[in-house]
Structure 1
Amino acid sequence: MSQDPSSPNFEEIYENYRQQGAIQANEEQFQSAAAEGQESIVAVRKNNDGDIIAVQTSAGRELDYVTALSEAKNGALANVDVFHRFGRDILRSEPDGIKDNNLDNLPLF
């Protein structure tokens, strides 16, 4: 079944809506973090196995993984959680349904 060229492309409209929502959610998270005096993680460094070994914050600081864990536990880093699994603490982005801001999907530095 072919689509009538004069009818709206519902999938495209919905995808644009989702993308705009993701952009707006990211902006709101950064604004909220800044208002609370927190930094956000904006980029990551990975080893050859793809494990995150360091992070870069919105203030430009580069933190090794252990320091980032410590700062997240102390509430200095926004939009991340620390949980205990496999006998160690693990840093992860807060679940918000937006894949683009997951730590694994952030830009590399």
Structure 2
Amino acid sequence: METVVGLHRNHFGDIISFVTSGGRVISYQKALLEATNGIITGVQAAEDYDGKLVLSPLQDQSFDHYPNLF
């Protein structure tokens, strides 16, 4: 099973895609879908305060420690 090992941010600092341990670069929405379906581990889909489905890491409070890979 793959895990998230890095991410890509846009110039506003928003996460736009993730890099998996298998070397795939997947969009935020695809990562959300794969986390929901148990395809990638280490992240979870949860609702934010507005009821929007977002990704969050299981062990940390944020994705800040993940490297920004290109």
- Shorter chain as denominator, the TM-score bin is 0.7 to 0.9
Identity of aligned residues (%): 35
Shift of residue 87 of structure 1? Answer: 3.1
Corresponding residue SS for 1:103: coil
1:82 aligned onto 2:42 = no
**CA distance in structure 2 between the partners assigned to 1:42 and 1:51 by the alignment:** 17
Q: Which has the higher strand share?
A: 2
Shift of residue 95 of structure 1? Answer: 3.2
Larger Rg: 1
TM-score using structure 2 length? 0.86
> 4+ residue runs of structure 1 moved beyond 4 angstroms?
none
Q: Of residues 42, 51, 57 in structure 2, which corresponds to 1:93?
A: 57
Q: Which runs of 5+ in 2 are unaligned?
A: none
By relative contact order (CA 8 Å, sep 6+), the higher-ranking structure is: 2
Shift of residue 107 of structure 1? Answer: 0.7
Number of residue pairs matched?
68
Q: Which runs of 5+ in 1 are unaligned?
A: 1-37
Corresponding residue SS for 2:64: helix
